Amino acid sequence: MSSKEKPTLGGTRIKTRKRNITAPLDPATFADAVVQIYLDNAGDLELIAKSIESSDLNFSRYGDTFFEVIFTGGRTQPGTTKPDEGDRHSYSVLASEATREAIFPFVLYIQKILRRRPFLIKNLENVTRRFLQSVELFEENESKKLAIFTALTFSQKLSGLPPETVFQPLLKDNLVAKGLVLSFITDFFKEYLKDCSIDDLIALLKRGKMEDNLLDYFPTAKRSAEGFSDHFTKEGLVSLVEYNQKKIFDVKLKEMKAALKTQIEEETDISEVIENVKLQVKDAIIPDVEVVRMLWDVLMDAVQWSGKNQQQNANAALRQVKTWAELLNAFCTSGKLELELMYKVQIQCYEDAKLMKLFPEIIRSLYEQDVLAEDTILLWFRKGSNPKGRSMYARQTFVKSLEPFVKWLEEAEEEE
C-alpha cells in the first residue's frame, strides 16, 4: 500500500449570514381583528376578554393600536386621536355614558388584560399620554369620560399606570390657556375623591410631581390663590381648597419664622422686629394664636444651648425671655393669648428634656416681664394645664412644679 497522503480539495468555506426577515407592520389588520372580536361578542367585556386571551394576535407589536380600539372603537391616525381607515365598533370607552357606572367595567376589563399581558402597561401609558396631549380634539363629554376613566384607575388601584402619565402631559400652554386642562383635572379630582381621601389625592399628586404646582393647570388670568379657592369651592371640592389654604399658610409661617430668627440672631432693634412681624401677620392673615406659638418657637430655636449643662441652658432660656419680653408682650394682648403662651411653654418643656425642669422659672420670668398676668397663671393652675396629648402624670408634674410660685402669688394677693 502506498504511504503517500491522499489529495484533498483546497479552498475556503464561505459562511452565509442569515438575515432576520421582519414582517412589515400591519396595524390595520390587527385593529380589524380586535374590532371583529368586539362585534362578535356584542360588546360584552367578559366575553371579549376571554376571546382576546385565547387569540394569537400579536399584542406585543400592536399594543398601542389595541388600546386605540378600546378607547375610540377603532384605529386612530398616527400621532392624533382622529379615526383612521378600517372597521370600527360602538362599544368603546368614549362611546359609553359619562358616568362611573358606565366606565368602571372598562377599568376592570383592562385590568384583566394587563394581568395576562403586563407588558401592555407601556402601551396604555403611550395612548393615555397621547390622548391627554390632544384633549382639545375631544368633545367636552369625551374629555370628561377620559377624566373619569383615569381617576378610577387610580382610586381603585387597578393598574400600574404612573401618575405622571396623567398629570404631566396636560401641561401644554395652549391647552391650559383654553381652560381645557382645568376642566379635565376638576373632573378627575371630583371622581377620585368619591372613593379616596384628600390625603390620598395629595399623595398621588406628589407621586406625579404636581403637589406644589396645581396652579399651573389654571389659565393665567385665574392663576392665584383666590382663583384656586373660588374655582374649587364652586365645584364642591372644599377639602382641596382647605388643603391649599393650609399649605399657603404653612409656607408663609415658615418664611416668617426664618425672617424672625435672622432678626433675633442679628439682635435687631425690638421695635423694628415688632413692626416687621405685624406687617407680615397682616399680609399673611395669620391668627393671633398662631403668632404667639410661632414667636415662642423662634425665640427658643435661636437660643445657643450648651448640651448637658442644665444651669447654662436655664440661664440661656431665661436670658432670651428677658431680652425679648417686649416682643412677646406686643402680641399677647389678651388673657386668652397669654394662656396660649403658657400652654406652648408647657408643651415645649414636656417635649424637650433640657427644658423639663425650667417650666416654673420660665413662667415666673414671663410674669416678672409683664408678659403673663397673675390672673392667667392662677387660671391655668386652678383649671388644669393643657390636656392635649399629655399624660395625667405629666400634667400633675407641671402643676406641682408651679405650686410654690402660685402660693407666693396668692399670699401676695392676700397681703394687698
Q: Rounded to a whole number, what is the largest CA-CA distance in the chain?
A: 146
- Residues 309-341 pLDDT 10s: 778 888 888 999 999 999 999 999 999 999 999
Cell numbers 355614558 label which residue? Answer: 97
CB-facing half-sphere around the CA of 90: CA atoms within 13 A: 1
User: What pLDDT was estimated at residue 80?
Assistant: 63
The reported pLDDT for the residue numbered 164 is 87
pLDDT for res 8: 58
User: What's the pLDDT score for residue 170?
Assistant: 92
Separation CA 203–CA 8 (nearest Å): 78
Q: What is the DSSP letter of 6?
A: P
pLDDT on residue 389 = 40
| Prediction pTM value | 0.76
The pLDDT, as a whole number, for residue 76 is 84
| Per-residue pLDDT at 412 | 73
User: HSE-up of 330 (CA within 13 Å, CB side)?
Assistant: 17
pLDDT recorded at residue 391: 55
Burial of 133 (0-12, 13-18, 19+ CB in 10 A): middle
Q: Give the residue among 254, 242, 181 at the shortest CA–CA distance from 215.
A: 181
State how far the Cα of 321 lies from the Cα of 362, in Å rounded to an integer. Answer: 8
The predicted structure's pLDDT at residue 21:
47
Rounded to 5°, angle at Cα 195 from 189 and 197:
70
**Residue 226: how many CA atoms within 13 Å on its side-chain side?**
1
Residue 14 has a pLDDT of 56
| C-alpha grid cell, residue 189 | 379630582
Q: What is the pLDDT of residues 51-95, one digit of tens each?
A: 999 999 999 999 999 999 999 999 887 766 677 788 899 999 999
The strand pairing partners of 76, in sequence order, are: 83
Flag residues of the chain having pLDDT under 70.
Answer: 1-25, 79-81, 159, 307-308, 384-394, 413-416
Residue written as grid cell 383635572: 185
> Which CATH topology does 245-414 take?
1.25.40
Give the pLDDT of residue 286.
Answer: 87
